Amino acid sequence: MSQKLAAPTTTSATDPAKPPRSGPRATIARGGLPPFQHFLDAYREDVWRFLVSSAGPEDAKDCFQETFIAALRAYPRLRADSNLKAWVLTIAHRKALDVHRRRAKGALPVAEITEASGGEGSSPAEARDETLWGAVHELPARQRSAILLRYVADLPHRDIATAIGCSEEAARRSLHEGLNKLRKVIA
Amino acid sequence: MSKKIEQLLRQGAPHIQAAGDEAVAAARRVSERAAAEGFADISYAPVDSPFGTLHAATTKRGLVRIAFPEESVESVLERLAQSLSPRIVQAPASLDLLKRELEEYFAGRRHEFGIPLDWSLTGPFGRRVLEMTAAIPYGGHLSYAEVAAEAGSPRGARAAGNALGSNPIPIVIPCHRVLRSGGVLGGYGGGVDRKRWLLELEGAL
């Protein structure tokens, strides 16, 4: 329970013309936070897809619970104009990171990421998916997170930077480097 | 090739076919757990009734709101989020007792509700009026002026009428038992037809 709450408010000191508002699907009440259930309904699929892609289908279940329970506990302290999508994906990103760290320490069996596909009779498309996602999981943590937040969760660069705790330029670089490695594997 | 990789990545890891359904199930578990373990401040659920689907909301203290079918659930919840707490989840199990009591009431087998109430949405005067109203026995009725007098109101029947009109927990707090003097039905937040229907159910008309 250590996520920093204030993180993704994304105050745009650099661009006052475009105040950061909550994600496109959040139904914000006049001046207040939406009821938590509406927030959960709006982002459950982004978070689920991100967590399955990052932590694998089994660990995703626990991560999903931990992510939204942590979000619920912190929820009333959020500013009403917070970027809710970036905020919840920041929490999800940290939960997924915990799973990867535990695996790296050998406390958990090696990722079950590839076990569902693969096997003898897999088609070329399945083999390609397996190679690609195997390579995604071999990436350094920051590159992997940047790629998943960008393509699976569809976050803009600015919010990726907030989620992984770096500058926007560093986020772009991580994304670029990660993609380059994947291209070598897939091409 | 680069575009191709980006496209593949967008589809997510190979197991997230049916991601929508799994996300819905996972989200439901979050809501249920949040209610059961006390992380949520307000739980709500749809409740069947002869009037159509009501929505009921409860806090840890008790029932706080019943909304008629024509009220927008979205705006009911948004107002609860603003006036009480945004930690609101849909968790039907929290309202099982209310469902049972309402079912018995609508079947004519229950004459009093036993569930605890949360008065947070009501001011002090409104609360006195609604407490007087809650004390009117099944099958009985009072006039607005009588309720106002009982509530010790110098403001009279009109103020009592306003308090009853903004009753956040209709049916359970039986504001339908307050009539205009002379036995005229008067208004009702849920519509006069429903007021008449409830009074007939209770044998008061």
B121-132 pLDDT, tens per residue? 999 999 999 999
B10–A36 C-beta distance less than 8 A: no
B90 touches chain A (CB under 8 A): yes
Domains and CATH numbers, chain B: 35-121 (3.30.160.70), 124-201 (1.10.10.10)
φ/ψ of residue B57, rounded to 5? -130, 140
pLDDT at residue A3 tops 60:
no
Examine the residue annotation and report whether B175 is marked as an active-site residue of this protein.
yes
Q: Is residue A66 part of a domain?
A: yes
DSSP classification of residue B137? P
- Better pLDDT: A57 or A147: A147
Highest mean pLDDT among A57-61, B17-21, B106-110, B152-156: B106-110
Instruction: Please indicate whether, in this complex, the C-beta atoms of A126 and B14 are within 8 angstroms of each other.
Output: yes
Instruction: Say whether A182 and B5 touch across the interface (CB within 8 A).
Output: yes
Q: Considering only CB atoms, which chain A residues are within 8 Å of B9?
A: 132, 136, 147-148, 151-152, 182
pLDDT in tens, B56-111: 999 999 999 999 999 999 999 999 999 999 999 999 999 999 999 999 999 999 99
Burial class (CB in 10 A: 0-12, 13-18, 19+), A32: middle
**A71 falls within a domain:** yes
**Structural domain tally of chain A?**
1
Q: Is the pLDDT of residue B167 over 70?
A: yes
The reply to whether B25 touches chain A by the CB within 8 Å rule is: no
What does pTM read for this prediction? 0.85
- Whether residue B18 lies within 8 A of chain A, CB to CB, comes out as no
Q: Is residue A16 part of a domain?
A: no
* CA distance to A160, B59, B95, B97, B174, per residue, from B101 (Å): 50, 17, 10, 6, 14
- pLDDT tens by residue, A150-184: 999 999 999 999 999 999 999 999 999 999 999 99
Q: Which two tokens stand for residue B109?
A: 């087998």
Q: Side chain identity at A137, as an amino acid letter?
A: H
- What φ, ψ does residue B108 adopt, rounded to 5°? 80, 10
Residues of A within 8 A of B85 (CB-CB) are 76
CATH of the domain at A137: 1.20.140
What per-residue confidence (pLDDT) applies to A22? 42
- Answer whether residue A85 is part of any domain: yes
* B40 has pLDDT over 80: yes
Residues facing residue B118 across a β-bridge: none
Q: Is the ipTM of this complex over 0.90?
A: yes
pLDDT(A26) > 50: no
Mean pLDDT of all residues in A87-97: 96
Q: Which of B102, B148, B175, B178 is catalytic?
A: B175
Q: Is A136 domain-assigned?
A: yes
Residue A144 lies in a domain: yes
Which A residues, 70 through 89, put their C-beta within 8 Å of a C-beta on chain B?
Answer: 72-73, 75-76
Flag whether A95 is in a domain: yes
With CB atoms and an 8 Å threshold, state whether B30 touches A72.
Answer: yes
Which residues of chain A from 104 to 163 reach within 8 Å of chain B, CB to CB? Answer: 113, 116-117, 126, 128-130, 132-133, 136, 147-148, 151-152, 154
Is the per-residue pLDDT at A122 higher than 80?
A: no
Domain encompassing residue A96: 33-186
Q: Across the interface, do A130 and B14 touch by the CB < 8 Å criterion?
A: yes
The pLDDT tens digits for A100-111 are 888 888 755 555
Among the partner residues A29, A65, A154, nearest to B81 by beta-carbon distance: A29
Read out DSSP for chain A?
Answer: ----TTGGG---TT-TTS-----TT---BTTBPPPHHHHHHHHHHHHHHHHHHHH-HHHHHHHHHHHHHHHHHHGGGS-TTS-HHHHHHHHHHHHHHHHHHHHHTTSS-S--TTTSS-STT--HHHHHHHHHHHHHHHS-HHHHHHHIIIIIS---HHHHHHHHTS-HHHHHHHHHHHHHHHHHHH-
The mean pLDDT value for B187-198 works out to: 95
Q: What confidence tier does A40 reach under pLDDT thresholds 50, 70, 90?
A: very high
* H or E element, residue B17: none
Section B44-49 average pLDDT: 97
| B34:A186 CB<8 A | no
Which residues in chain A have Cβ-Cβ distances shorter than 8 Å to B21? Answer: none
Within 10 angstroms of residue B124's Cβ, the number of other Cβ atoms is 8
Tell me how far apart the alpha carbons of residues A133 and A182 are, in angstroms, rounded to a whole number. Answer: 9
Residue A24 lies in a domain: no
Whole-number Cα distances in Å, A139 to A151, B40, B111 = 15, 38, 66
- pLDDT value, residue A10: 39
CB-CB under 8 Å, A151 with B9: yes
The answer to whether A107 and A33 are in contact (CB under 8 A) is no
Q: What mean pLDDT comes out for the span B140-158?
A: 87
Minimum distance, in Å, between the CA of residue A30 and any CA atom of chain B: 9
| pLDDT for residue B4 | 86
Taking contacts as CB-CB distances below 8 angstroms, the residues of chain A near B22 are: 48, 52
Q: What is the pLDDT of residue B2?
A: 66
Confidence of residue A116 (pLDDT cuts 50, 70, 90): very low
Q: Across residues A96-119, what is the average pLDDT?
A: 67
Q: What whole-number distance in Å separates Cα of residue A68 and Cα of residue A92?
A: 8
What are the backbone angles phi and psi of residue B47, rounded to the nearest 5°? -135, 125
The token pair at B178 is 């307050």
Average pLDDT, chain A: 81
Residue A27: what pLDDT? 45
pLDDT-derived band of residue A12, with 50, 70 and 90 as boundaries? Answer: very low
